[in-house]
A and B are shown apart, each in its own frame.
Chain A
Amino acid sequence: MLGRTANGLYWMFRYIERAENTARLIDAGLRMSLTRSDSRDDDWDGVLQSAGVREDYDKVHPTLSSVDAIDYLLRDKANPSSVMSCIDAARNNARMVRTALTRETWEAVNECWIELKHVLARKARSTDLPEIIETIKRRAGLIRGAFHGTMLRDDIYNFARIGTFIERADNTARILDVKYYVLLPAISQVGSSLDNMQWESILRSVSAHRSYGWVYDGEYKPSNIAHFLILNARMPRSLAFSYEKIVSNLCFLGQTYGETHAAHETASTTLTLLQNRTMEDIMDQGLHEFIEEFIVQNNRLGQEIADGYRFYQ
C-alpha cells in the first residue's frame, strides 16, 4: 500500500471520529444549558476547551456566546475541527483512497457529506439542533456499519482502526483534562447538584451516561467515573479500550509486514500501564499530571506510526 494511502486512511478515520465526538460535546453542552436554571454562556467555555479550539475561537469571536460557540463547532470553515470541516476532510481523504475502500464504505462517507453539506448550509436554529446532532451521529454510525460489515481485515483496515482509536483516546483524554478538577476527591465531597450535572455532562459527552449506570450501580462517584473513562477496558471510549485496539491492530501490521517499529513498543508500554494501574495509583500521581502525560504520549505514538509506516501526503 502507498504510504500516502495509509496516511489518507488514518486521517480519514481520525476526522470521522472527531466529527462524531464534537457532535457529542455539543450535545452535552446543550443538555447542560437546558437543565440549568441559571444557564450561562460560559458553560461553552469548557466545551470549546474539550474540543481543543478555545483559543482559536477567540480569534474569530470577540465574546463567548452559545450561538457563536455552537456555530463555530458545527460548521465554521475557519475551525479545522468543526463537524463540517472534519467531514469535508474525511471525504477528501476517502476520495483519495477510494480504491482502498469498499463501495459501501465510500458511499456511506459520501452520503454523510452530501447530507451534512445540506443540513449545515446555514446557521442552525436552536430548535433544529437536536435533529442535526442526531443526523451527525447517525451518519457516523452508518459509516462505521458499512466499514465493519464489508472491509477485508487487512492492513487497510488496521490503519483505519488505528486512526480511529488514536483520535478517540485523544478526545476522551481531552475531556478529562478539561474537567479533571470535577473528579478530584477533595471537591467530590461537596456533592452538590451542580457536581451531579457536571458528572453527567462528562458521561454524556462520551455517550456513556446509561452504561455507567449498569456498571457502577447508578451512583455518581468521581473515582468511578474516572475509572470508567480511563481504566475500564469494556467501555468503548476509554483509554484502556482504545489502546487495546491500537495494540492489536499494530500487532496485525507487525505480523503482515514482518517488522515492528518504535510505535509497537510505545503502544504496548502504555497499554500495560493502563492495565496494571488502579485509580488510587493515578490519583496519587495526580489526575491532571497523568492525563497530560497521556496526551503527550498519544501524540508521540501517532508520529511514530507515521514514521514507521512511511506516511506522506
Chain B
Amino acid sequence: MMNADSSPRQPYQDYFEWYSSQDRARLIAKSRDAENIFRKTGITFAVYGHADSSEKLIPFDLIPRIISGREWRKLAQGIEQRVIALNAFLDDIYHKQEIIRAGRLPRELIEKNEAFLPQMIGFKPPGGVYTHIVGTDIVRTGEDQFYVLEDNARTPSGVSYMLENRETMMQMFPELFQQNKVRPVQNYPNLLRQSLASLAPPGCTGRPRVAVLTPGIYNSAFYEHAFLADQMGVELVEGSDLRVIDGKVKMRTTRGYEAIDVLYRRVDDDFLDPLTFRPESALGIPGIMDVYRAGNITIANAPGTGICDDKAIYSYMPEIVEFYTGRKAILENVPTWRCSEPDSLKYVLEHLEELVVKEVHGSGGYGMLVGPTATRRERALFADKLRSKPGGYIAQPTLSLSTVPILVNKGVAPRHVDLRPYVLVSDKVQIIPGGLTRVALKAGSLVVNSSQGGGTKDTWVLED
C-alpha cells in the first residue's frame, strides 16, 4: 500500500487519513465484533478431517484492499478477454478441435485429461455458454502489473465472502463508505439469477425456474450454497430432491413433482449423474445428462469445463487467448515450466529452492511445494515425486507479490494477497467490481488458502 517513500499509494490516501485518526484499541475491538457477526450469521466452512472443529470461521481483516478505478479497468478488460477465450476454447475442444489441428496445443493434453468429458463432444449448451461463473485468481506485483494465477472455470467458490465482507464493513464503518466512492458489489445475486435465467434451455416455455444444487449441509461450502439460493430467491436442492420424470428434471415438492429449468450446480462433474459418471454417486441425479443433451435443462457451469482449471492447460493460456481472440493476452500468465518436458524438468530440479511446484490437477493449496520456504529434506522428497511422475507437475517462480496492510496488535503489517474477481457470462460478460481478496496471515507466507490459515478482506474498487 505504500510508495517507495513510504507515503500511502494514491487509492489508499483517504483511507489512510481515516485510519490515522482512529484509536487502535477500538479497531482491535471492532475486529472481534466482526468475528461475532460472522459467527452469528453462520458464515463458516468445514475443514475435512477435523471431526471436532466441524465449523470454522475464516479470519477477516478489517483493512480493505483498495484498487483504483484506473487499474481496475485494465484488469477487467484482461479478464473479459480471458473469459471469452475460455468459452471459445471449450466450444472448440468439444467440437472441431481446431486448436489441436493448428498444432497450438498437444492432443494428449486434452484427450488424456480426466477433466475432458467425451460425453460433451458435439453438444452445444444453451446459449453456447460453457462456463457461466468464473473466478479468475490474480496477483499484483506492482503498478499495473497483474498475473493470472489460475482460471477457476469449474465451480469457483468464495463469492459469499465477497458479499458478507462488504456487508460487515458497511455495518461497522458506515462513515468510510461516505468518504470513499466504493463501487457496489451487492447486486451480484440478482445479476447471477438474471444471468442464469437468460440461459434457460430450449425446452423451457414459461418463466425459467432456477435452483442451486448442493451436496448437502456437511459440504464445506454449504453456507455459500444456501446463501446464494437465499439471496437469489431460488430453491436449494440436493440430488435426492430431484428425479428425471418425462424427460425433465423435477423436484419433489409439497404439491408433487415440479420441473427445474436451470440448475446452478455446486457438485462436481463426477458426481452429477451416476448413470453417466461415477455409478456410486449419491449426490447426483440419475439420467440428468440425457435431459441435458435433449435440451430440457441448463447446467451451470456446463459439465466438462473443469479442463480449464488444469494447470497444464493453464500454461498454454497465452496461446489459447491469442488463438481465439486474435490478440495478445492483456493479462500475463505466471511463467510456467511444464515438468512433462525434459528440459523444463531438468531446470525445475536444478532450481527447486526458487520455485513453487504444483500438481497439475491439484487445488486448495494442497500437494504443492513452496521451494524458498521448504526444508532441504522436503525438497529432496518432492524431487523424487517429480522424477517419478513429471507430467503431474508444473513449476512457477515465486513472484515478488505486492503486499497490503493487515491489522495486528501493534498496528499494521504487510502481508501477501491474491484477488479473485467474479465474472458472469451469458450473452454478455459481467465482471463484478471487487472480488475476494485472500490474505496470507503469516508474515512472509505466500499461501492464501483458507484451508491453510489464510484470511479474507473486503475489496474496494474506487470510482474515479
Contact = CB atoms under 8 A, between A and B. Distances in A.
B42 A106 contact: yes
A121 to B, nearest CB: 13
Contacts of A107: 40-42
A310 interface: yes
Contacts of B256: 310
A95 B237 contact: no
Given A107-B40, A107-B41, A110-B42, A99 B230 contact: yes
A60 interface: no
A155 B41 CA distance: 24
A296 interface: no
A98 B43 CA distance: 12
Contacts of A2: 235, 237, 241, 251-254
B331 interface: no
Could you say which interface size class chain A belongs to? 20 to 34
A99 B235 contact: yes
Contact of B217 (A92, A259, A309, A310): A92
Contacts of B241: 2, 4
Contacts of B237: 2
Contacts of A155: 254
B236 interface: yes
Given A309-B254, A310-B253, A310-B256, A99 B41 contact: no
Contacts of B15: none
Contacts, number: 57
B252 A310 contact: yes
B104 interface: no
Interface residues of B, number: 23
A106 B235 CA distance: 17
Interface string A107-148: 100110010000000000000000000000000000000000
Interface string B240-275: 110000000001111110000000000000000000
Nearest to B227: A98
A99 B253 contact: no
B387 interface: no
Given A4-B241, A107-B40, A107-B41, A95 B254 contact: no
B356 interface: no
A2 B250 CA distance: 11
Contact of B252 (A4, A106, A111): A4
A186 interface: no
Interface string B354-368: 000000000000000
A99 B229 contact: yes
15 contacts: A2-B252, A2-B254, A3-B254, A95-B42, A95-B217, A98-B226, A99-B229, A106-B42, A110-B41, A114-B40, A155-B254, A259-B255, A310-B254, A310-B256, A312-B252
Query: Sorted from nearest, which 6 A-B pairs have the closest CB atoms?
Result: A98-B226, A99-B230, A309-B254, A99-B229, A99-B236, A6-B254
Interface of B: 39-42, 217, 222, 226-227, 229-230, 234-238, 240-241, 251-256
Interface of A: 1-4, 6, 92, 95-96, 98-99, 103, 106-107, 110-111, 114, 155, 159, 257, 259, 309-310, 312
